[in-house]
């Protein structure tokens, strides 16, 4: 009986393995806020990522805080091939608009100009790799800002790219750009009208953004995000010929089977000391069956004296035996009023007289 219960528990908490389904070489469905993996397939397998690279290029551009600066196009664009927005040498365009072209039209010329403008391609790629490490992308290497893989190659994993999309979505500017269906830009040379290549924006109403990618070596790559009922999901597929269809089906699986549940309520802690408090509630994506497996272990330091608002321990939230979150606990200590304590004015008067 014990073995059966353990098996049932494991089936409930382990991410669904879908190798039997046609999801390309690698795929992941991740809940954005908690990073919980709901579906996984070869998520740590290194693959060429094609133009999904441009998510990182956009992040570096946004973090430069130069989005309103004008970029003058140089002959660097002559190195570009594949998908372009067709910039002209000498043309000037605001960096922000260039990022729109980068993400909506997958402009390789835009990627080269962004890198050139922000310190040159070599320094820009260094920034990309440094940022990847900061985010926790342990199996990622960038060698260019566009994702073309004839001369240099960019490698990552489904898991790392989900982390990147999660980080990028923390910027409102990024979410606005990748969620835009149509964008018009006017320069002194020409007028650009761009439509987003992410088909999910038109076919799946909960889609919030994403980036497409394709090369002959990488095949189809796709990173997208969607939100419904206060739950934010990310899907990454690498080398998947049915990527748009599969992304939609993965989202429907996630939204149909999971919901964001308040698994820790700061106002309903089961503690004898009522002066102990937490700052935040905690929500976690779980299924109906998993609700019964949530339990909280309170660990509080035992001391004779505490300072007001001192950290005294943590609430360990578990799904079965797996720790899913630790919430810090603090204590409120009322300071005793000293009746014999005199204010500073009376002290001065007493000294004088």
Query: What pLDDT does 30 receive?
Result: 98
* CA quadruple 84, 85, 89, 95: dihedral sign: negative
Tell me: pLDDT of 179 over 80. yes
| Range in 2-11, 19-28, 58-67, 186-195 the model is least confident about | 2-11
Q: What proportion of the chain, given as a percentage, has pLDDT over 70?
A: 89
Interval 193-224: pLDDT, tens: 999 999 999 999 999 999 999 999 999 999 99
Residues 222, 287 within the same domain: no
Tell me: pLDDT of 337 over 70. no
Residues 242, 308 within the same domain: no
Quick check: helix, strand or coil at residue 149?
Answer: coil
Helix axes 95-104, 54-63, angle to 10 degrees: 160
Query: What pLDDT does 13 receive?
Result: 46
Residues 22, 171 within the same domain: yes
**Local confidence band at 233 (pLDDT 50, 70, 90 cut-offs):** very high
Query: What pLDDT does 22 receive?
Result: 82
Residues 132, 248 within the same domain: yes
| Mean of all residue pLDDT scores within the chain | 91
Query: What pLDDT does 152 receive?
Result: 97
Residue 84 belongs to a domain: yes
**Local confidence band at 334 (pLDDT 50, 70, 90 cut-offs):** confident
**CA-based end-to-end distance of the chain:** 85
Residue 352 belongs to a domain: no
Residue 110 belongs to a domain: yes
Which range of residues forms the domain containing residue 286?
261-331
In 49-182, which residue ranges form alpha helices assigned H by DSSP?
A: 54-63, 95-104, 108-117, 121-135, 158-168, 172-178
**Which DSSP state fits 153?**
-
Residues 26, 173 within the same domain: yes
Mean pLDDT of 62-91: 97
Residues 16, 128 within the same domain: yes
Residue 226 belongs to a domain: yes
Which has more pLDDT, 337 or 62? 62
Residue 347 belongs to a domain: no
Query: What pLDDT does 172 receive?
Result: 98
Residues 286, 146 within the same domain: no
Tell me: pLDDT of 265 over 60. yes
Contact predicate 292/320, CB 8 Å: no
Residues 94, 181 within the same domain: yes
Query: What pLDDT does 24 receive?
Result: 92
Quick check: helix, strand or coil at residue 152?
Answer: coil
pTM: 0.89
Residues 245, 296 within the same domain: no
**Local confidence band at 303 (pLDDT 50, 70, 90 cut-offs):** confident
Residues 88, 175 within the same domain: yes
- Specify the CATH number for the domain of residue 305: 2.60.410.10
Residues 164, 235 within the same domain: yes
Residue 191 belongs to a domain: yes
Instruction: Write out the catalytic residue numbers.
Output: 51, 54, 106
Mean pLDDT of 142-148: 98
Interval 11-48: pLDDT, tens: 444 454 444 358 899 999 999 999 999 999 999 999 99
- Specify the CATH number for the domain of residue 142: 3.40.710.10
Domain stop point among 208, 228, 257: 257
Domain stop point among 200, 228, 257: 257
Tell me: pLDDT of 2 over 60. no
Query: What pLDDT does 21 receive?
Result: 53
Instruction: Specify the number of domains making up the chain.
Output: 2
The DSSP annotation for 274-332 comes to: TTEEES--EEEEE-TGGGGGEEEEEEE---S---TTEEEEEEEEEETTEEEEEEEEEE-
Query: What pLDDT does 85 receive?
Result: 97
Residue 7 belongs to a domain: no
Q: How far is CA 108 from CA 56, 124, 216, in A?
A: 14, 15, 16
Query: What pLDDT does 347 receive?
Result: 55
**Residue the block writes with tokens 């390309």:** 24
Which has more pLDDT, 128 or 347? 128
Domain stop point among 194, 223, 257: 257
> Which of 29, 12, 40 has the alpha carbon at shortest distance from 294?
12
Which has more pLDDT, 109 or 18? 109
Residues 24, 159 within the same domain: yes
* CA quadruple 199, 201, 205, 208: dihedral sign: positive
Beta-bridged to residue 205, according to DSSP, are none
| Range in 62-71, 266-275, 331-340, 342-351 the model is least confident about | 342-351
Mean pLDDT of 319-341: 82
The DSSP annotation for 18-70 comes to: -TTS---SEEEEEETTT--EEEEESTT--EE-GGGGHHHHHHHHHHTT-TTSE
Compute the distance between CA of residue 55 and CA of residue 216 in angstroms, rounded to an integer: 20
Mean pLDDT of 81-110: 97
């Amino acid at each position: 009986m014990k073995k059966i219960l353990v098996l049932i528990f494991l089936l409930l908490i382990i991410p669904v393995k879908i190798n039997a389904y046609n999801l390309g070489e690698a795929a992941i469905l991740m809940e954005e806020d908690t990073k919980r993996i709901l579906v996984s397939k070869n998520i740590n397998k290194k693959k060429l990522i094609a133009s999904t690279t441009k998510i990182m290029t956009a992040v570096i551009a946004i973090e430069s805080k130069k989005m309103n600066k004008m970029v003058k196009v140089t002959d660097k664009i002559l190195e570009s091939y594949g998908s372009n927005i067709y910039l002209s040498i000498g043309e000037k365009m605001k960096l922000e608009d260039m990022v729109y072209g980068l993400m909506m039209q997958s402009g390789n010329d835009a990627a080269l100009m962004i890198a050139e403008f922000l310190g040159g391609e070599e320094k820009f790629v260094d920034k990309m790799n440094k940022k990847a490490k900061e985010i926790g992308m342990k199996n990622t290497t960038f060698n260019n800002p566009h994702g073309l893989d004839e001369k240099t190659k960019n490698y990552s994993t489904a898991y790392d790219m989900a982390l990147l999309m999660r980080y990028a979505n923390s910027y409102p500017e990024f979410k606005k750009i990748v969620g835009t269906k149509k964008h018009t830009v006017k320069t002194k040379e020409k007028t650009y009208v761009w439509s987003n290549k992410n088909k999910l924006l038109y076919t799946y109403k909960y889609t919030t953004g994403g980036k497409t990618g394709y090369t002959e070596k990488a095949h189809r790559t796709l990173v997208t995000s969607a939100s419904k009922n206060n739950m934010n999901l990310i899907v990454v597929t690498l080398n998947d010929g049915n990527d748009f269809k599969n992304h939609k089906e993965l989202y429907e699986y996630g939204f149909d089977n999971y919901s964001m549940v308040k698994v820790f309520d700061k106002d309903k802690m089961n503690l004898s000391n009522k002066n102990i408090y937490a700052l935040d509630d905690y929500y976690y994506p779980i299924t109906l069956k998993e609700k019964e497996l949530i339990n909280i272990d309170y660990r509080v330091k035992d001391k004779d004296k505490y300072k007001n608002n001192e950290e005294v321990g943590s609430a360990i939230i578990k799904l079965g035996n797996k720790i899913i979150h630790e919430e810090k606990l603090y204590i409120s200590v009322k300071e005793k009023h000293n009746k014999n304590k005199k204010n500073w004015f009376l002290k001065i008067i007493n000294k004088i007289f």
